[in-house]
Structure 1
Amino acid sequence: MLTQVGGGYVARVGVGQPVKEYYLLADTGSQINWLQCLPCDGCSSVSRSVFDPSGSSSYSLLSCASQECASLGENRNCQADPCMFITSYGDRSTVEGEFATETVSFGSSGSVDKVAIGCGHTNQRGGASGILGLGGTPVSFPSQIQATSFSYCLVDRDSGKSSTLEFNTAPPGDSVLVPLIINRRIEVFYYVELTGITINGEQVPIPASAYQIGQDGSGGIIVDSGTTITELPAQVYNSVRDTFVKYAQALTRTSGYDDGLVNFDTCYDLSSNPTDGYPTMSLDFSGGKTLPLRPANYLSRVDTSGKHCLAFTVTTQPMSILGNIQQQGMRVTYDLANKMIGFSPNQC
């Protein structure tokens, strides 16, 4: 089950024997599965969200010589047994601790033994109890269970509803299927060739230099369930914003929004809940594939007064990100066997 919390989506995951449930952020941009563990420095103050490895009969530490430890790559932090991991995130938070195997389950769907999972004793990342790593490396959860595909449906923010995270299911028949591009230098991410964004029939092209992966592995555009706002190069963002403003004149413009984490420069007062005046918007992919978006996919509510802002921002990094706001309300399927990503609207 997936539930929207803050800017991300968490999966309810059973860990250990006897089983206890924890809420882990479902993140296609991460390879390591981890949860906060006792004893813990900087963990959530909610004691039930902290895993106690001493209370689980199936918890087993991994050695530095283990294949699982070697699979951590740059996240391996091994001086002597047991295997240790360390990882950091875009918000500059870090987590470190032991790497072990444990039994993992999803409700009545059964359990999987000996899943490699991090036990985070030093945690500088708030929010969820940990992360369910859905990325493309051998140590990620889909790889460990040898899944041929996985999919999720991200419910609309503030809907109060939940949806599902599924493994080994085919994309719905109405899916917009686009090639899943593999970056051999950075295998954790799932890349797509997003070639443009069309607003009211006018396309803002995205140059090949932005969506193609460089020989050194830099650049490209990834689909990321763990990032909220879509991040684009400045030139592309400015063109998207200006085109949107041109066609959104029926909406009431208001001041920008900056909470210290994200800075929006294009916002509207939608407190009157207007039913029309919204521009159409679609994402354009290579091969002529087009994914239509709803207003909820491009305007994000930022406060209780009805202020909504254009849910795109500028990245200063070579890589761009298709965030989870643009994925709301649709089932996104990662067909790993056929190297395709499917977007199926109205399937939550």
Structure 2
Amino acid sequence: MDATRRREFIKMSKLRIKSLANLGKNNKTKNDDPTIRPPIRLGSFIYAVELGMGIFDPIPSHKTVHLGFDTASDLIWTQCEGCGNNCFRQVDPLYPASKSITYKEVPCHTECPSGAKCENNICKLETNYGDGAKVESVLAHESFTFETPTTPRLVDFILFGCGLNMQGFHQDDDPNNKISGIFGMSYGARSFHEQKKTVVNGKFQYCLQKKEYQDLPPMLLRFGDDCIQPGKPSATPMFQHQNKPYYYLDLRGIQVNKKDLEIPPNAFQITPDGKGGTIIDTGTSISLVTTSAYQALEKEVASSIESRNSNLERLDDASARYEGFGLCYRRVREPTTLNLPWITWKFANNAIFVMNSDVTFEIYTKHDGQVLVCLKIFENSMEDGDGMTVLGSTQQVGHRITYDIPNGQLLVANEDCNKGR
């Protein structure tokens, strides 16, 4: 990852949290298998769910799309033909909605939902994201085709947005971008699991691979009874707060190499006015930590690095910020090996989430040959994002994560996700 793309990647994680803080019928199948297992593919900035949309002549053909996997927003949408110069770059053709046999726009004056608007007799919805991006889409219903263990399954009448005006999306930075929209999986009413409860059956799960890895078996998004759980997972309460669409967790503390950090007891609590708290979000790439806890984390990580690595020298704050990080070191002498700390997040019910140094540090070589080592977790202040702590997708790598919605719990187990199951 070059410096320009790295800075864009970091910027998106930091900016996304600003919008997170401000947010407050039947299925038909092609087969008898109720199980769907859409692949999750690696994307430049976000993981992507692969699925088919629509029905086209000759029947039963569909168009394959890749939609960013997002557990903190609910709208499903893709870029459609007709967006003109208001699209971001994608290598696949824009979705030809008007040619799909099953595409049906939402009637403007009878079914246009709250938050949308009727414009020229078309039901439109504007959705804003934390990196400053926004999409204006026409709301419609469409059939989706999902992979299963046998033959593909068709799921009818899914509400989605046909994107006609996309602004501020960073996919333009990737000439090979395949992502054309978002697959919303939050608590929100428009999310896939809320629309198709009989398909999802109360649960979904995934196991993410590092974005740097290539040529691995695809990851799978599993639902309901198809969810697997090797070993004994940790379970922690998961809940919604004030009708916000996020999956809140009760974070109790952070460790660095098994040392508990001295963090104010209320650091991760939701304030009476709804600020703060901790969420899990696949759409935020890099985790963010509220200020008081981040300061303790950075201090202990620095102490650990400096006591175990005589070959590293800390960058001053201005130089670290130039690289896009809060804490950075340069390698100034041999050896080339590093001894970096592990970081553990401790949740309610004695659930632990261990992050090895492979996902918590960015190690890269600059054009001038300098090797830099930077902490890949960021501060999130009240001013920047309501002080919310976010468990982002980069730090979720190497864990099988199950969202058990009816029972209000998140299940987590360490796993080699490179197996792609």
Alignment TM-score > 0.5, same fold:
yes
Q: Name the counterpart of 1:179.
A: 237
Q: Secondary structure at the match of 2:298?
A: helix
Q: Displacement of 1:13 after TM fit?
A: 1.6
Q: Displacement of 1:109 after TM fit?
A: 4.2
1:6 aligns with 2:41: no
Instruction: Note closer, same or farther for the CA distance 1:273–1:338 as it changes in structure 2 (3 Å cut).
Output: farther
Instruction: Note closer, same or farther for the CA distance 1:101–1:191 as it changes in structure 2 (3 Å cut).
Output: same
Q: Which of residues 17, 35, 43 is equivalent to 2:87?
A: 43
Q: Secondary structure at the match of 1:129?
A: strand
Task: Give the Cα separation in 1 of the matches to 2:93 and 2:364.
Answer: 27
Greater strand fraction, Structure 1 or Structure 2: 1
Q: Secondary structure at the match of 2:395?
A: helix
1:21-75 deviation digits (Å, cap 9, x = unpaired): 11110000111000011111321344624211112111100024555x42xx44x
Aligned residues between the structures: 341
Task: Give the Cα separation in 1 of the matches to 2:206 and 2:330.
Answer: 31
The 5 Å alignment of 1:259-274 reads: 263-269=324-330
The 5 Å alignment of 1:215-234 reads: 215-234=272-291
The 5 Å alignment of 1:234-245 reads: 234-245=291-302
Instruction: Note closer, same or farther for the CA distance 1:9–1:60 as it changes in structure 2 (3 Å cut).
Output: same
1:174-221 deviation digits (Å, cap 9, x = unpaired): 2221110211331x1000011111012221255454422334433211
Q: Name the counterpart of 2:30.
A: none
Larger Rg, first or second structure (1 or 2): 2
Q: Name the counterpart of 1:343.
A: 412
Name whichever of 263-272 and 47-56 sits farther off.
Answer: 263-272
Q: Secondary structure at the match of 1:180?
A: strand
Task: Give the Cα separation in 1 of the matches to 2:295 and 2:204.
Answer: 34
The 5 Å alignment of 1:300-319 reads: 300-301=362-363, 307-315=372-380, 316-318=384-386, 319=388
Name whichever of 150-159 and 302-311 sits farther off.
Answer: 302-311
The 5 Å alignment of 1:65-144 reads: 65=109, 69-70=112-113, 73-74=114-115, 76-79=116-119, 81-107=121-147, 108-124=151-167, 125-127=169-171, 128-144=179-195
Greater helix fraction, Structure 1 or Structure 2: 2
Q: Displacement of 1:281 after TM fit?
A: 1.9
Q: TM-score, normalised by structure 1?
A: 0.89
Q: Secondary structure at the match of 2:385?
A: coil
Q: Which runs of 5+ in 2 are unaligned?
A: 1-38, 57-61, 172-178
Letter aligned with residue 294 of structure 1: N
Instruction: Note closer, same or farther for the CA distance 1:46–1:228 as it changes in structure 2 (3 Å cut).
Output: closer
Task: Give the Cα separation in 2 of the matches to 1:28 and 1:303.
Answer: 33
1:268-324 deviation digits (Å, cap 9, x = unpaired): 457999666122321111222222221122113466765342111121222221111
Task: Give the Cα separation in 1 of the matches to 2:335 and 2:124.
Answer: 51
1:98-137 deviation digits (Å, cap 9, x = unpaired): 0000111223441211100001100112422100001111
Instruction: Note closer, same or farther for the CA distance 1:291–1:52 as it changes in structure 2 (3 Å cut).
Output: same
**Percentage identity across paired residues of the two chains:** 27
RMSD: 2.5
Q: Secondary structure at the match of 1:38?
A: coil
Task: Give the Cα separation in 1 of the matches to 2:335 and 2:401.
Answer: 28
Instruction: Note closer, same or farther for the CA distance 1:53–1:243 as it changes in structure 2 (3 Å cut).
Output: same
Q: Secondary structure at the match of 2:276?
A: coil
Q: Secondary structure at the match of 1:17?
A: strand
1:63-94 deviation digits (Å, cap 9, x = unpaired): 24555x42xx44x2334633211011111111
Verify the 8 A CA contact 2:90 2:180 in the aligned structure 1: no
